[in-house]
Chains A and B, each alone.
Chain A
Amino acid sequence: MKLITAILKPFKLDEVKDALQAAGVTGMTVSEASGFGRQRGHTEVYRGAEYTVDLVPKVRLEVLVDDNDAAAIVDVIVKAASTGSIGDGKVWTTPVDSIVRVRTGERGTDAI
């Protein structure tokens, strides 16, 4: 089992979500995040005082998938999230030891 974590541009969330649902993904967790990569931040001006804002608002999307599906789902996310410009984000996978569905007590891939 794998945990796919994607950092996305906030306005791309809906497209990625729809693409994942179309690809058969049944659940996901989304949270607001902030950070920077090569994009860096931006500058704001208040009464002439310039502030650099390093951390840019992003969305973090997490999906649990079976090992066999992981590569395909990553491709779905990358395709839907891409705008071709700087700051599109990153997608990575991490191995997952165990999963339990709280309501039923199912374990492993049944709980995905």
Chain B
Amino acid sequence: MDEIVLNSGDTSWVLASTALVLLMTPGLAFFYGGMVRAKSVLNMMMMSMITISIVSVLWVIYGFELAFGYEADSPWYGNLSFSGLGGVVNDFTNNGGVYPVPVLVFAAFQLMFAIITPALISGAIADRTKFTAWAIFVAIWSTIVYFPVAHWVFAFGNKVGDVVTGAGYLASKGVQDFAGGTAVHINAGAAGLALAIVLGKRIGWRKESMRPHSLPLVMLGAALLWFGWFGFNAGSALAANGTAALALINTQVAAAAAVFGWLLVEKVRNGHATSLGAASGAVAGLVAITPACAFVAPWAAVVIGLIAGAICALSVGIKYRLGFDDSLDVVAVHLIGGIWGSLSIGLFGASAVNSLGLDGIFYGGGTDLLVKQALGVGVVFAYSFIATLIIGYAIEKSIGFRVSKDSEVQGIDLNEHAETAYEMTSSSRGGSLL
């Protein structure tokens, strides 16, 4: 066997992508922070910050090993052991094939996915979540839900010669998910739905105005997410090559088309195209193209994005009809967008653009791929929803998941963090340093 040498181009791109994907989580903090009321913005952003803190630490202790354990033999989880990173500085990434990229780079890149997934959930439970309960939830959920699900989807096994061992359940079934439509978005969306049910509605939901306090912050967040998403999708090629380029251009055009799709629904239904709609549409398109970005042609990415923008905009109404307070529409954007994107591969998948991909219905591949994709959607949704309900109720019954009514009405920033985001008046508030 030829000796593999490190490819500095590939390694550089994955290193840079790692930084891009990290930026998405603070970007998400702005995106969500702008959408809540002024009295909750710091708490909303802190939920993302503490997620970065907790998941990073868990990852180097056991998370990476649980998701991508070397020579693991279970389809359901990796190794139950210390991650041991650092003893293998010069080892290459072996994930269904050997990539000439150090495994430490792969570990760092995948860490960023493990961070943003629980952070996405926080939008479903804005304004009312006890901060310590959230922190405990993130640790438990990552361990029981994200790390194993990442193994199912993203672990392609240890390849020696032509023999692959220890691939994840969905990966071995041939479910296609290039950058995380199932493991990240459906996973987070299903968990968001479960937690919105566990925590219940905010006081005054559907009675008083809960309009976003700062749309410019939402726009800033959407911009950072869009920018970082190039690392998320194109970095998932684990190489600086044509597949990465395909993922990158598909990411761009899907987001662009989805902005248009969302705004079209708004213009027709409400009479105005809104900035919140544009920001939401961009994110919906980015979500939908995530699983499909390296398996479809750019024209198909436009169609996927356009439909994603429209159906996600229409899906916002689900929570009003069913009566759950998914505050910032994690279900409408991430769950629905993730489901659509994952299934879209079964329609638009084209082996002509990616030899590792399969043909979908429109490319003469029949319904086989669509059925596989539906399996991936169903398995991840069911597991995440049920596991999150159990974790959520366990926290609710033990330490309580929700702040007191007084704290919620007065403002969660003040009561959970002893801070307020804005000085609302120019006159003195009559305090002094203690």
Residues of A at the B interface (CB closer than 8 Å) are 44-51, 53
Contacts and interface: CB of A to CB of B under 8 A. Distances in A.
Contact of B266 (A44, A45, A53): A45
**Chain A interface SS verdict (over half):** strand
B211 A48 contact: no
B211 A44 contact: yes
Interface string B251-290: 0000000000000001001101010110010000000000
B316 interface: yes
A32 to B, nearest CB: 11
Interface of B: 209, 211-212, 266, 269-270, 272, 274, 276-277, 280, 313, 316-317, 320, 329
| Closest CB pairs A-B (n = 10) | A45-B270, A51-B209, A47-B316, A46-B211, A48-B316, A46-B276, A51-B211, A46-B212, A47-B276, A45-B272
A100 B277 CA distance: 55
A47 B277 contact: yes
B25 to A, nearest CB: 22
A50 to B, nearest CB: 7
A44 B270 CA distance: 10
A34 B108 CA distance: 52
A46 B272 CA distance: 10
A53 B211 CA distance: 11
Contacts of B320: 49
B209 A47 contact: no
Nearest to B274: A45
Contacts of B269: 48
Nearest to B277: A47
Contacts of A44: 211
B399 to A, nearest CB: 32
A46 B279 CA distance: 12
B362 to A, nearest CB: 31
Given A47-B313, A48-B313, A49-B316, 12 more contacts: A45-B266, A45-B274, A46-B211, A46-B212, A46-B274, A47-B277, A47-B280, A48-B269, A48-B270, A48-B316, A48-B317, A49-B320
A50 B270 contact: yes
A46 B328 CA distance: 11
15 contacts: A45-B266, A45-B270, A45-B274, A46-B276, A47-B276, A47-B313, A48-B266, A48-B269, A48-B270, A48-B313, A48-B316, A49-B320, A50-B270, A51-B209, A51-B211
A108 B239 CA distance: 84
B329 A47 contact: yes
Which of A46, A47, A48, A53 has the most chain B CB atoms closer than 10 A to its own CB?
Answer: A47
A44 B280 CA distance: 17
Contacts of A48: 266, 269-270, 313, 316-317
A92 B317 CA distance: 47
Contacts of A50: 270
